[in-house]
Amino acid sequence: MKLFNDINARFVIGLNKKPDMGHYTVSVSFKNEKQHVTELLSLFCIMIGVKATGSVDYSLYFPDSVLNEVKDFLNPWKKKKKIIIDAYAGTPERNFSQQQLLDLIHLVNKGKEIKLIILDHRNELLVPLPSGVVKNPFCTLHHVMALIKESDIVITPDTSIVHISAAWKKPLIAVYKNLPNNNMWAPGYENASHLIVHDDKTSDADNIPERIFNEIVRRNLLDRHEMKIQSPVSVTELKEPVSKYGYHVPERSIASSDQLCC
């Protein structure tokens, strides 16, 4: 309601809203447990009198100057596979723990042909990153878009990063909680893997780093046929304050976010 008042919207389209909710001009009926969000966008077009035809793929814009800045940043590693890892989502319960992040880095960061770039838009990462791993140095959403466009693989629990990746059909591993609207907000393209977590918090889920890494191996995303599937570890090991890979993880192991920046 506050947003509607702030922007003084004359026409507001709702989704499955009850008739007595008078601040919506019209409500679109949508079976979000079965239909993808791109179908919803088509329904919105029809509702406002626009005939939706052709592709419903995402189209994102950012200035050429931003792309040039990102290319300059990535230039020292232009011959390497650039992997974007985003540990944080829009709600804290969907975030990776910092131990999960470090364990995933340890599994993936092997070989001179790989460069890992970590998204940490609120500077909440409390542990030192291993050699060869860098944080995104930029602070705008446009730069994040450009980084993803120029990357080779994206790993994230966040739907905003998922759908930015979908704009360029990037090789993607998305980690979602088990919710009724997962189909609606799924990646929605063949080059993406969609891992489902059944725990209340993703940070409490068993073997998240191993599940992600095993999916990388299964799809041969690193073009290294000698890589082996990792055996699972116990939930107890994942929750220990000291990582099994030798990195110290502070007690404050869960980071929170509600918006994407850098």
pLDDT score of 199 more than 60: yes
| pLDDT attached to residue 174 | 93
Q: What is the rounded CA–CA span in Å between residue 166 and residue 171?
A: 9
Domains of the chain and CATH, by start: 2-47 (no CATH), 65-239 (3.40.50.2000)
- Residues 6 or more apart whose Cβ sits within 8 Å of residue 197: 175, 176, 177, 178, 205, 208
pLDDT score of 252 more than 60: no
**Type of residue at 193:** S
Average pLDDT value over all residues in the chain = 80
pLDDT-derived band at 100 (thresholds 50, 70, 90) equals: very high
Alpha helices by DSSP H, listed for the chain, are: 2-7, 37-47, 64-74, 98-108, 141-150, 159-167, 208-219, 235-239
pLDDT-derived band at 69 (thresholds 50, 70, 90) equals: very high
pLDDT-derived band at 74 (thresholds 50, 70, 90) equals: very high
| pLDDT attached to residue 229 | 55
Query: For residue 98, what is the DSSP state?
Result: H
Could you tell me which residues are beta bridge partners of residue 197? 177
- The SS3 assignment for 242 reads strand
Could you tell me which residues are beta bridge partners of residue 254? 97
pLDDT score of 164 more than 90: yes
| Closest listed residue to residue 204, CA positions, set 225, 234, 174, 181 | 234
| pLDDT attached to residue 70 | 97
Cβ–Cβ under 8 Å, residues 40 and 52: no
Cβ–Cβ under 8 Å, residues 243 and 99: yes
pLDDT score of 244 more than 80: no
Task: Lowest mean pLDDT of 60-64, 204-208, 253-257, name the range.
Answer: 253-257
Q: What is the rounded CA–CA span in Å between residue 56 and residue 41?
A: 8
Q: Which residue has the higher pLDDT, 245 or 183?
A: 183
- Residues 6 or more apart whose Cβ sits within 8 Å of residue 235: 204, 206
Q: What is the rounded CA–CA span in Å between residue 179 and residue 118?
A: 26
pLDDT tens per residue across span 217-240: 999 998 765 455 555 433 323 333
| pLDDT attached to residue 80 | 94
| pLDDT attached to residue 1 | 62
| pLDDT attached to residue 253 | 32
The percent of residues above 90 in pLDDT, for the chain, comes to 43
pLDDT score of 50 more than 50: yes
**Type of residue at 95:** N
Could you tell me which residues are beta bridge partners of residue 71? none
What is the edge-to-edge ordering of all strands in the sheet holding 81-86? 133-135, 114-119, 81-86, 153-156, 172-177, 192-197
